[in-house]
A and B are shown apart, each in its own frame.
Chain A
Amino acid sequence: MTRPRTAWLPGLALLLTGAVTASPSGDGEYLFHAAGCLACHTAEDGEPLAGGRAFDTPFGVFYAPNITPDKETGIGSWSRTDFITALKHGRSPDGDAYYPVFPYPSYRLMSDADAGSLYDYLMARPPVTRENRAHEPAWWLNRWLMQAWQWWFLEEPSPGPSDPQLQRGRYLVDALGHCGECHTPRTLAGTLDPDRYLAGTREGPDGEAVPNITPHRETGIGKWDADDLAYFLESGERPDGDYTGGLMSEVIDNTTARLTAADRAAMVAWLQSVTAQGSEE
């Protein structure tokens, strides 16, 4: 797949107009927040999007790569197609299968148009030189196994609800916010267990327990009303006056607080519509 020879032209145009720090398309920046790229791809003491953050999982330790448009150490030489293939199909431009620490099984549900807008936005960020750190997968895990895993487990998405607000909510929760990547427990094969969608898990990222966000009354969010839920997504405040901390507060700060009120309401409508499941003991 050859890259168009004029791929650098938009970048140069932006540079010349002094708009290199502005998002080239209004959508791209919004999608960037909704998809939550920043927190995972930024190390604690690192430059934004330059990678380096470690993810300690049952499958090994993985390091987020540099997704700034740096040509040598980032994704600066990627075409739009390269990017969409990575994001939605979990394949690098060289054809390697990505480890699903990168939540492509969720991003798979994103539209090509949105993925393209994200590409434009990322390509306009400041490039940072930072070498990617090699992953430390479990001894039995390798790229061949990942290819087989992708072939076996990645499914076409189900059609989804017909109500427009629920559709939008599902899109924000599944395709962009990828909430299930934390909130849905995993099978032994490391896939999200569709029978326990959003039912929470004791073994979440960073060793933290992840709450059940199905409408179950005792162990989920069944007692919260729509307003409570929307306000939580906006501010991190729970109905009991406590404020969430840990990884979820990153999600509030970087993603849900930056959505429109209508989008938060759509997410809430979707969450309240999923099957209520009790947490496992």
Chain B
Amino acid sequence: MRRMLIPLIVAVAAIGAPAIADEAENYIKYRQAMMKAIAGHTGASSQIVRGKIDAGSDLAMHARALAELNSDLARLFPEGSDFGETRAKEAIWENWDKFEQAARAGTEATAAFAEAVDGGDREKIAAAFKEVGKSCKDCHKDFRQKDD
């Protein structure tokens, strides 16, 4: 029985490993889709906040969506999801505390933005939107690879 132990462990690991890898890659696709959704609502909000178009009550919808999409960003980056085609930097898992902080900044900024939009004050909305953008930029600065 003992002679079987090591081959057995290797076999289990070999069977288990692809399953884990699949899951991690799925997270990559999932979070890339999430980030695209966030970009969509951010870009749309930007056009409205900057007065380029008049979109009626759409801004409230975008702000709510942003707050929901940003409610738990760290969850999108589980351990092991750095293998595969992702722009997520290793630094995320090496500096998890700092990353969580950056993610939380996004949660707070989007929540504040949604609140400002409800309040209706144009200047407060513009200021809150700037903070949202800042939180996106700051996290990308430290934790996302550039591509192009």
Residues of A within 8 A of B (CB): 200, 208-211, 227, 231, 235-237, 239-250, 252-253
Do B46 and A241 touch (CB < 8 A)?
A: yes
The 3 closest A-B pairs by CB, nearest first: A241-B43, A245-B140, A241-B39
Do B146 and A208 touch (CB < 8 A)?
A: yes
Please report whether the interface of chain B is mostly helix, strand, loop or mixed according to DSSP. Answer: helix
Which residues of chain B from 20 to 62 have any CB-CB distance to chain A below 8 Å in the complex?
38-46, 50, 52
Residues of A within 8 A of B52 (CB): 227
Complex CA–CA separation, A200 to B146 (angstroms)? 13
Q: Which of B5-13, B73-81, B131-139 contacts A (4 or more CB under 8 A)?
A: B131-139
Most chain B CB within a 10 A radius of its CB, from A239, A245, A246, A253 = A245
User: Which residue of A has the minimal Cβ distance to B87?
Assistant: A245
Minimum C-beta distance from A264 to chain B (A): 14
Do A236 and B43 touch (CB < 8 A)?
A: no
- Asked if A245 meets B141 with Cβ closer than 8 Å, knowing A237-B42, A240-B43, the reply is yes
Residues of A within 8 A of B143 (CB): 245
Please report whether the interface of chain A is mostly helix, strand, loop or mixed according to DSSP. Answer: mixed
Q: Which of A209, A235, A240 contacts B146 (CB 8 A)?
A: A209
Do A241 and B141 touch (CB < 8 A)?
A: no
Do A244 and B137 touch (CB < 8 A)?
A: yes
Residues of B within 8 A of A241 (CB): 38-46
Minimum C-beta distance from A258 to chain B (A): 14
B148: Cβ under 8 A from any A Cβ = yes
User: Which residue of B has the minimal Cβ distance to A211?
Assistant: B148
Minimum C-beta distance from A88 to chain B (A): 30
Do B50 and A231 touch (CB < 8 A)?
A: yes
